[in-house]
Amino acid sequence: MATIAVVGTMDSKGAEHAFVAERIREAGHTALVVDVGTLGAAQVAVDVTREEVLAAAGLSLPAAEDRGERVGVMARALPVYLEKMAAEGRMDGVISLGGGGGTAIATAGMRALPVGFPKLMVSTLVSGNTAHYVGTKDIVMMPSIVDVAGLNQISRMIFARAAGAICGMVEARIEQGEEKPLIVASMFGNTTECVDAARQALEGKGYEVLVFHATGTGGRTMESLIESGMVKGVFDVTTTEWADEFCGGTLTAGPTRLEAAGKMGIPAVVAPGCLDMVNFGERESVPAKFEGRNFYIHNPQVTLMRTNAEECAALGRILAEKVNAYTGPVAVALPLKAISIISGEGQAFHDAEADAALFGAIRANLREGVELIEVEAGINDAAFSVTCVEALLGMMEGSEPSIL
């Protein structure tokens, strides 16, 4: 029997959550009704009051009955409460139903829970962009179809299915494979050969490699996993998301990209992979200020823009500054002949001046103590992949093992 937290604004959605709690109990599990309401009194009996949730974070609701302000406070308190419950083993899953306010509060709490912990949000907002609710966690977002405003023949069906779903999630048996040390790697289509070769080599040495596509969400998710403490090494050779962050592209991972490994003190190899390209949508979507630049149509929905020398110099400084803050062993590897498939000599994005600006800025700004490895090869050449893998293994194992 599992304990499932039924979290919701019981001042306005009490009947709906009570219905879900009853379905969970009928399935043989314990339902823990948690009130995160912010205005009126709870409409149903609860197991955890809003005051208890707030107290866990040392917070209280503002005296003024401003709904937005109160929702913000509760969204800060719930993560603390749920994280504590999960860490103490007093909760095996969480489910919530809500509109805008309820979704904001409940998903804030869910994002504090580890990957793999069952979490289900039934929301009126699922048909739109849910990225800011899900973040980098595995929150299952289920459309409510009708508003979460009472029980009717449609909502009963949806809510009952949701209760069944969360019960199924907590009941699922997870087959545990062999526990191997985890290494994370960043990859793009333009660095696939490099990362695939590295993955095979690292797995041959007894590691498990998790590859993240550097599409913004991928970078953020990788950083989040690094911060979880589960990761032993970082093969971050595709730092292209910084080109989008700096130039206003569509695949930015935000200004904290490249920080997690440094904070955790984890061995890392970093390379300026694909910093030659900024991602936009269809050609017509590229901002007018970039007219006249070098573009490459990757597909009808993706337009790549070549970074110029000025942008590359700035990106080189940023990469060096991020790496300079690392507290663990770290090396920066430069593939001097090409930082992507299309930046090599004779290719669409070949720009010797821009590459020189990038490499020069990294060399000039990297602090003493950070190993700088320069390889006369393209990023997808075997020589570069081998060099990076051996550098990472050397840092992780305190030696210079050969993978050949």
As separate numbers, helices (DSSP H) first and strands (DSSP E) second, the chain gives 13, 14
Q: Which of 57, 8, 56 is nearest to 31 (CA)?
A: 8
**Coil/strand/helix, residue 231:** strand
pLDDT number for residue 399: 45
pLDDT number for residue 402: 42
pLDDT number for residue 177: 66
**Coil/strand/helix, residue 209:** strand
Instruction: Identify the band that residue 131 occupies on the pLDDT scale cut at 50, 70 and 90.
Output: confident
Per-residue model confidence as pLDDT tens digits over 284-315 = 999 999 999 999 999 899 999 999 999 999 99
Question: Distance from CA of residue 315 to its chain's centroid?
Answer: 22
The DSSP call for residue 337 is: T
Instruction: Identify the band that residue 400 occupies on the pLDDT scale cut at 50, 70 and 90.
Output: very low
**Coil/strand/helix, residue 152:** coil
Per-residue model confidence as pLDDT tens digits over 46-79 = 999 999 999 999 999 999 889 899 999 999 999 9
Q: Which two tokens stand for residue 197?
A: 């070769």
Distance CA 380, CA 63 (A): 60
Q: Which of 189, 190, 187 is nearest to 199 (CA)?
A: 187
Query: Looking at the domain that runs over 182-397, which CATH code has it been given?
Result: 3.40.50.12030
- CA 394 → CA 197, 233, 329, distances in Å? 17, 11, 10
Q: Which two tokens stand for residue 376?
A: 């006369």
**Residue type for position 27:** A
Q: If you average pLDDT over every residue of the chain, what do you get?
A: 95
Q: Which two tokens stand for residue 42?
A: 């709870």
Rg (alpha carbons) of the chain, rounded to whole number: 24
Q: Which residues are CB-contacts of 258 (< 8 A; sequence separation ≥ 6)?
A: 236, 239, 242, 270, 319, 322, 323
Q: Mapped to the 3 state alphabet, what secondary structure does 250-287 carry?
A: CCCCCCCCCCHHHHHCCCEEECECCCCEEEECCHHHCC
The answer to whether residue 401 scores a pLDDT higher than 80 is no
**Residue type for position 6:** V
What does DSSP say about strands 119-123 and 302-306: parallel, antiparallel, or unpaired?
unpaired
Distance CA 304, CA 296 (A): 5
Q: Which CATH class is domain 3-171?
A: alpha beta
Distance CA 11, CA 20 (A): 16
Where do the CATH 3.40.50.12030 domains begin and end in the chain? 182-397
Per-residue model confidence as pLDDT tens digits over 322-376 = 999 999 999 999 999 999 999 999 999 999 999 999 999 999 999 999 999 999 9
Per-residue model confidence as pLDDT tens digits over 149-182 = 999 999 999 999 999 999 999 999 887 767 899 9
The beta-carbon contacts of 194-198 under 8 Å, at least 24 apart in sequence, are 194/237, 194/273, 194/379, 194/380, 194/381, 194/384, 194/385, 194/388, 195/235, 195/237, 195/238, 195/385, 197/382, 197/385, 197/386, 198/235, 198/237, 198/385, 198/388, 198/389
- Cβ contact 102:96 at 8 Å: yes
- Cβ contact 294:304 at 8 Å: no
Which whole number is the average pLDDT over 86-91? Answer: 96
Tell me the angle at which helices 100-110 and 67-87 cross, rounded to the nearest 10 degrees: 30
Indicate the burial class of 313 (C-beta count within 10 angstroms; 0-12, 13-18, 19 or more): buried
pLDDT number for residue 127: 85
Q: What are the two backbone dihedrals, phi and then psi, of residue 371, each rounded to the nearest 5 degrees?
A: -70, 130
* pTM to 2 decimal places: 0.78
